[in-house]
Every structure is written in C-alpha cells, then in structure tokens.
Amino acid sequence: MSTQHEHTDDGEPETPGDRRRAEKAARAAEREQEAADAEPDLGDDAVTLKVFRYDPEVEAKAEPRFDTFRIPFEKGMTVLDALIAARDTYDSSLTFRHSCRQAVCGSDALFINGRQRLGCQTQIADLEGDVVRVEPLPHQDVVKDLVVDMEHFYDQMEAVEPYFQTDETPDDDLEEQFQTPENREKIKMSTRCIWCGACMSSCNIAAGDNAYLGPAAINKAYRFAMDEREGENMKEHRMELIEQENGVWRCQTQFSCTNVCPKDIPLTEHIQELKREAVKSNLKFW
C-alpha cells in the first residue's frame, strides 16, 4: 500500500501545516480585496486630511498622533465637511465640535494649516498645499482629538458682565429705549462676536497669562461700554472692570486677534479705544 503526497513548487511534500498556512493567507488576501472594494473610488480628485488625535481615556490612544484620511473632494467642500466624511466613513471615534455649519455658533474653531479658522467657513479649495492639517486650538487643554476645554474662555467672558445693564428704564414698560443710528454703527462690529475662542487662542499674552481677560472678553466689554443706552454710571463700572492690571493694559497690540477673527471684528482697535477712554476717565484738572 502506497501513500501519495502533494508537492509544493519546490518539490517538497505538502504537509497539513502548509495547507493551513496557505488557506490562512488566501483568506487574508480575500479580506484585503473586500476592504479595497469597499473603499470609495477617489480617483485623482481627493483631499488628504492630516488630523490630530488624542484620547486620554484609551491607553492605546493616549499618546498624541496624527491620522491621515483620504476624502473624495466635491466643489464647495469645507474642512468641516471633510471631517464629517472622515468620521462617518473611516473612524466613528473621531471627535470634534460643530453645530450650525453657518459660521454663527462658533463651535468648530480649529487650527487649520497653521491658523485659527472656523471649519465650516474654510473652503478646502482656498487652502494652499496638498495636505489639510487640522489641529485643536493652541494654548488650550485638549479634551479629546480636536475638542478643547473652553471653561477658562467662558470664565473670562463672564468676568466683564456680558449683558445689557442700564442706569434708567422708561416709566412705561412698553416704551422703547432708543439708540441713535450713529451709536448703533459704532458698536455694530463688536456685536458680531460668536464666542469661538479663535482670537484668544492666537494671543501670545493670553497664552502666558491666564489672568488676562483676552481680546474676546474686552471686545464684549467694548460692546456695552460704548452703548449709549446703558448710561454713564454703567460705563464707569465697565471701565473699572477692564482697567484692572490684567485688562486692556496687558494688550501689546500684536493684531493677531484681529487677523484670525472669522467675523472681521477690529478687536485690536476696540482695545486701543478702550485704553484711550481709560486715560480720559482718569484725567483730573485742577
């Protein structure tokens, strides 16, 4: 009785172990082909995202890194669109903030290609280079991936009492508090702030001094201090809030906040005007 053995290409008899290894390799190749078939056909028209990743609650992801995603490009695509596509197509754990997608909520301020920008406002077609690099806002603690802790920013905003207060109200509850067109025009730009934190992130002074109110909070103080409907007593109160050591006088007029503001608010100019108001209010003539 003779036993016949199958032979490999090199002439050696094929063992059961060889067959198992060959079957395992074949299954792996099949899985790779299935994965390749599932990939979208990107062609030459695709965008490469290089995204900062960090998750302190998962040991394997606690070390900061960058992940790369290839996203099919469409006309009018924003960085936020590309991030959503990366999350929905490749990695559902990719974490970032977004809401209105109309540059109103301010929740998706990011560090895109080395500059503070709104993800929903930034057109990929307008960015230079072949790679879109997306990072969380600098000078703020990262919670996870592109999400930063905004608590300190909100505390600074709250410190200037960012709400309307008036010395006097009309006797009649139905009577309006009129504002001249000229005064409305004066404060118009300051009212556009969406609390995104881009200006605070760009400010070198704020980065090294947590006590500094920062450009967003000072702009909010300007919005109310210059509103004629609040009255002189309230204006004096607001000036006292921002004249402190870590108020307007910490600004070194670098214009970085103005340069990155997504609503084109002349933040540095507002800070300088408040400095002039502070000097005038403290002048005494004998």
Residue at token pair 């002039």:
276
Residue range 187-199, pLDDT digits in tens:
999 999 999 999 9
Please count the other Cβ atoms lying within 10 Å of the Cβ belonging to residue 35: 9
More confident residue, 20 or 164: 164
Give the per-residue pLDDT at 35: 52
Residue range 89-110, pLDDT digits in tens:
999 999 999 999 999 999 999 9
Provide mean pLDDT across the span 143-147.
97
At residue 233 the predicted structure's pLDDT band, cuts being 50, 70 and 90, is very high
Share of the chain above pLDDT 70, in %: 89
> Which domains does the chain carry?
46-147 (3.10.20.30), 150-282 (1.10.1060.10)
At residue 19 the predicted structure's pLDDT band, cuts being 50, 70 and 90, is confident
Provide mean pLDDT across the span 28-36.
65
Query: Which residue, among 239, 241, 250, has the nearest Cα to 276 in the 3D structure?
Result: 239
Give the per-residue pLDDT at 45: 83
Asked whether the predicted pLDDT for residue 1 surpasses 60, the reply is no
Q: What are the distances in angstroms from CA 113 to CA 17, 52, 109, 197?
A: 52, 12, 13, 17
Asked whether the predicted pLDDT for residue 63 surpasses 50, the reply is yes
Helices vs strands, H then E, count in the chain = 10, 7
The token pair at 218 is 């000072």
Residue range 178-222, pLDDT digits in tens:
999 999 999 999 999 999 999 999 999 999 999 999 999 999 999
Asked whether the predicted pLDDT for residue 137 surpasses 80, the reply is yes
